[in-house]
Amino acid sequence: MKHRTAGVYPMQQIWSGTLKKMRVEATVPVTYWLRDGYYDSDERSDERQLNDFLGQPLQIRFTGQITCVYCGRQTNKSFGQGFCFPCFRARAEADICIIKPEQCHYFDKDDPCRDEEFAQRECFQPHILYLSLTSGLKVGITRRKNIPSRWIDQGAVSAIPLAELPSRREVGLVEHRLAESFQDKTHWMRMLKEERPEADLAGMADGLVGILQDWGVEGVLPATERVEYVFVYPVQVYPTKVKSFNLDKNPLAGGQLLGIKGQYLIFDGGVINLRKYTGYAVEVSAGDGVPT
């Protein structure tokens, strides 16, 4: 395939806004929308579906403005998932236990949760322990309400829920124990190169259920609920080599849009993880596929 850059095509702006992770819908293939993460909901742009632009030139231009998606403060650098530094230091959404739930300190009287309302709304809710197939077999956790979008965001081609526990801390402790023997991270480059890795998801899920039962873990789902979810992504061509665009070094990213998987756009000249640039103001343009 001849590689082309977006610059050789006539381009028309199709969307502008502050990036956040794309909205997804578990259709066949998965449907993706750009959505605006600007902190003031009254000033957000409407969503824009991306699937219709597959096979066409698409360009993302970073305007140079980064805004905290939580408080609206202008910042030179985005921390975590779109925080300015003060919010990164202060907000419960940025606490270490969001990344490592086994380190939850809610019950530590000397270091309690930063936000009681957040804890009750987000952490003390039903969470699912699951096994998914991304770059390989992976154990993970998510709130029940995030099924199946959590799996799609990770680029999973299939997933099976294993158990339901009443809080993030409790399910995190089980995941952490399992992670001593099983992978709990996705190798993103491998995930983008392969349509479907070879693995016995169902067989491994049965084995993990046996371990959970031996440990006396409460909340193991009955067999009727341990169903396999399967996802097909809108990808025309998977890259053989993975090169990332970096908006901090070059404000332009794009080319011929060959696919979307996880939170990555796959172009003929590289890939970009849109979630990584949460809080970045961008303009997105598309071409008609006819070079000038």
Q: Which is nearest to 274 in space by CA: 12, 23, 91, 28?
A: 23
CA distance 8 to 289: 10
Confidence of residue 3 (pLDDT cuts 50, 70, 90): very low
CA distance 281 to 34: 12
Instruction: Kindly tell me if the per-residue pLDDT of 19 is higher than 90.
Output: yes
**Coil, strand or helix at 232:** coil
Q: Express the helix, strand and coil content of the chain in percent, nearest 5 each.
A: 25, 30, 45
CA distance 90 to 11: 42
CA 217, distance to chain mean position in Å, is 28
**What's the DSSP call for residue 196?**
S
Instruction: Kindly tell me if the per-residue pLDDT of 269 is higher than 90.
Output: yes
Share of the chain above pLDDT 90, in %: 88
What is residue 205's predicted lDDT score, i.e. its pLDDT? 97
Whole-prediction pTM: 0.93
Could you report the per-residue pLDDT of 249-268, keeping only the tens digit for each?
999 999 999 999 999 999 99
For Cα atoms 285, 280, 157, give the angle at the middle one, nearest 5 degrees. 75
**Coil, strand or helix at 263:** coil
- The answer to whether 27 and 89 are in contact (CB under 8 A) is no
